[in-house]
Structure 1
Amino acid sequence: MFSNLAIDVALGLIFIYLLYSLLASVVQELVARIFNSRARLLTKGLRRMLEEDDHSKDLGWFGKFTFFNWFYELGWSVVYFFEPFRKNPFLKKFYSTPSIRNLGENSATSRPAYISPQIFSQTMVHLLRGSVQEHKGTDAQAIKAALTHNYLHLVPDTREHLLQLFEDAGHNTAAFRINMEGWFNETMTRASGWYRKQTQTWLLCMGIAIAALFNVDSIAIARILMKDKNVRSQMVQLAASRAPGYTAITDTLIRKNVLHKDSAFFRADTSVRILVSDTSLLGVYALLRADAGDAANVLGISRACVTDTTGGHMTMHCGYTHPFQQNGWLVFAGWCITALAISLGAPFWFDLLGKVVKFRTTQPPADTPGNNTTATH
């Protein structure tokens, strides 16, 4: 069996990163459920489609710089968190229609986390058609009148885009719906990118907090694994015993929480909700928390308070017990490395762990007589 110091150290570090990445993902999922993050991001995508949502012009000359825009948009995100339909009458009307309102789970999560393209286009047609007083003509005539006279008070850009889509459809209602569904899918593809970016930011922030809370010092862990053969062996055994159980967690909690083929956005009726309930999610957290404790015990990294009676006075000193954690700056650097590793996500470390384990357990090719011969002159 092929094994050496570098491979075992790498295996131990990868297992630690996988373990805490999964822990961060579980916490992030719990936070997302508490704050209904997916539904809020879907609302943001629809706001960009149906209402004017570009606040950079409010900054004037400063709006040209990403730095100022980021903080300004962050402020608006807080505003929209409490007032999702602020200055967005059409968006509020859109969510008030029965076809959208009835998709909400309950009063606490009244806005759905997923809307199919077909429901979106159907709702838009209903709103446009219903805005025409005493409609007696065809649906196409009603839609044309609604857009021409702007009965719904759409912002200029949205109204102009819908008019162009209607003209591209040749004033055919069915074709117009298909065009709107394509527009919806394209916008939701962008929204899924926003969610991934938001998730990675959350993982980085949680990674820093988790690294500090659990004292996951990458530098100290690497030094321990390189110096202590017994710890290295125990960590490899722990990784081999726990990794198979993480397969279901990674595939269920992370990989299947993906985009739906119809809308390129998150479905509320699949992903975690159907596979992991809130109670089960807490159970997964408890399991990972226990594994984190086992890993910490193997590594011997912990915090403790020591009583010092030197000089006849009793004083209490609290800090790190391991000799590899005596430099505070190195400890902080080790936490930062861990946080960056966690931000890469559990699937990355899970796949890498599988490759390293496979490489480690691969038998080297047997030597053949031809390989042992030396050239003679």
Structure 2
Amino acid sequence: MLSTYLDLAIGLIVAFLLLSLLVSGLNEGIVRLLSIRSKFLWAYLRDTMDGPDRRGRSFLPSGIRDVFTSLPFLRDPRPQHNSLPAPAVMSPLPEQEASAENELTERLYERVREIDHPKGSRTSIATLPPARFALAVMELASAEPNGVEGLLDKLKLARSPLHGHLQGIWESVQADANRFRQEVEVWFDAEMGRLTLLYRRYVRWVVAALGLILTLLFSMDSLEYGKTMLRDHAFREGVAAIAGGGDQGLDALKDRCTANADTADPYTCVTETLSSPALVKIFDNAVAGVAVPQDGDPHITWNVGPWWDRLTTPGHWPGFLVTFVALLFGASFWWDILRRLTGIRARSGRG
């Protein structure tokens, strides 16, 4: 009995793991296709270094709608890609109250574009190492006659939001340039951690939406699936008992094989049942599927009518809800649970 429930638990976990991986894959595909990570980073950099645009609008999205509408399609905050190395000599910032729009961000990209690689007309940099950012700031300061203090004066004159952050760091290290670089690195690392949390908060909504869509498209009723696995396990035990000379599973075999006239032959019935475990049948109730007949090529089958009947049947809604909630935990969670139950160990990376 214990093995039966263990098989049930593992089967459910594997099903949740497969669907969670599909959700993660779709989410990653959308993120890569729209370059969301790269745009998110450069939107933050533009807000931090140059401030809002001339209309007073922030580049960093203020809501989930902006993440997948304004940010990907309307206002691309990334600099133009440049494959040339950064120039060895930099010119100082101009002496004016307001620098050209996005000039500081463009100058930062000029100092870090060695880590860029071509991917369209815009930069593909999606992560900026804190040490590289701190070094770029020091390179900007080196172009000023008065070093860091000259850079701070120019940032203040340009009304850059970055001035307040760097001014506080400069005063805290008592004008020590080496400590200033280290503290800028620490500050930027903390900012990237905060930005990552904000990004994950937005992506969490996307994962939830994809999980709901997949649950409905596959009409995955977890409660029904659990019952199917128990029946499948009982049927297989009956077949094994008959093969061993017993007749305990004969009634179950007759019921299963006579339910459909096409599979009245016990041998055909057993073959089809054993080759289609409950884990495979989890996708049988999807709006579309792939049929693999014994003779002929695989083909797509549409299951719109029965699929819609399942969606509109209140009895399936609790199972749909369980599936949707399970997908919110993510693939890493279900993989960890599966490893604990099965004893699978992760590679230690040695030898």
Report the TM-score range of the alignment, normalised by the length of the smaller protein.
Answer: 0.5 to 0.7
**Structure 1 residues 92 and 300, CA, compared in 2 at 3 Å: closer, same or farther?**
closer
Match of 1:218, as an amino acid? S
Partner of 1:217: 221
**Structure 1 residues 70 and 115, CA, compared in 2 at 3 Å: closer, same or farther?**
closer
CA distance in 2, matches of 1:150, 1:89: 13
Cα drift, residue 117 of structure 1: 1.6
Partner of 1:302: 285
Partner of 1:105: 117
Residue 328 (str. 1) matches residue 313 (str. 2): yes
1:276-306 CA distance string (max 9 Å, x none): xxxxxxxxxxxxxxxxx9766445842689x
Partner of 1:26: 25
Cα drift, residue 47 of structure 1: 4.1
Q: Where does 1:220-369 land on structure 2 (aligned, <5 Å)? A: 220-230=224-234, 297-299=280-282, 301-302=284-285, 318-320=304-306, 325=310, 328-358=313-343
**Structure 1 residues 85 and 31, CA, compared in 2 at 3 Å: closer, same or farther?**
closer
Residue 189 (str. 1) matches residue 201 (str. 2): no
Residue 125 (str. 1) matches residue 138 (str. 2): yes
CA distance in 1, matches of 2:155, 2:320: 56
Determine if contact 1:216/1:334 at 8 Å carries over to the other structure. Answer: yes
CA distance in 2, matches of 1:104, 1:41: 16
Return 5+ residue gaps in structure 2 as ranges.
Answer: 79-99, 238-275, 289-302, 345-351
**Aligned to 1:200, what secondary structure does the other structure show?**
helix
**Aligned to 2:115, what secondary structure does the other structure show?**
coil
1:338-369 CA distance string (max 9 Å, x none): 2221121111101112223359xxxxxxxxxx
Higher relative contact order (CA 8 A, sep 6+): 1
Partner of 1:89: 102
Larger Rg: 2
**Aligned to 2:69, what secondary structure does the other structure show?**
helix
**Aligned to 1:40, what secondary structure does the other structure show?**
helix
Determine if contact 1:85/1:92 at 8 Å carries over to the other structure. Answer: no
In the superposition, the TM-score normalised over structure 1's length comes to: 0.59
CA distance in 2, matches of 1:326, 1:38: 35
**Candidates 144, 152, 172, aligned match of 1:147:** 152
**Structure 1 residues 229 and 74, CA, compared in 2 at 3 Å: closer, same or farther?**
same
**Structure 1 residues 336 and 154, CA, compared in 2 at 3 Å: closer, same or farther?**
farther
**Structure 1 residues 159 and 335, CA, compared in 2 at 3 Å: closer, same or farther?**
same
Structure number having the greater helix percentage: 1
Determine if contact 2:156/2:163 at 8 Å carries over to the other structure. Answer: no
CA distance in 2, matches of 1:321, 1:75: 34
Match of 1:161, as an amino acid? H
Question: What is the alpha-carbon root mean square deviation over aligned residues?
Answer: 3.9
Cα drift, residue 88 of structure 1: 5.9
**Structure 1 residues 49 and 217, CA, compared in 2 at 3 Å: closer, same or farther?**
same
CA distance in 2, matches of 1:345, 1:104: 31
CA distance in 2, matches of 1:23, 1:116: 30
Partner of 1:50: 49
Determine if contact 2:140/2:151 at 8 Å carries over to the other structure. Answer: no
Cα drift, residue 112 of structure 1: 0.6
CA distance in 1, matches of 2:205, 2:287: 31
Cα drift, residue 14 of structure 1: 1.0
Partner of 1:273: none
**Structure 1 residues 331 and 196, CA, compared in 2 at 3 Å: closer, same or farther?**
same
Determine if contact 1:90/1:153 at 8 Å carries over to the other structure. Answer: no
**Structure 1 residues 223 and 357, CA, compared in 2 at 3 Å: closer, same or farther?**
same
Q: Which moved more, 1:7-16 or 1:77-86?
A: 77-86
**Aligned to 2:337, what secondary structure does the other structure show?**
helix
CA distance in 2, matches of 1:144, 1:174: 14
Cα drift, residue 322 of structure 1: 12
Return 5+ residue gaps in structure 1 as ranges.
Answer: 59-68, 136-140, 234-292, 306-316, 360-377
CA distance in 2, matches of 1:294, 1:70: 47
CA distance in 2, matches of 1:164, 1:100: 24
Match of 1:127, as an amino acid? L
Partner of 2:36: 37
Match of 2:129, as an amino acid? S
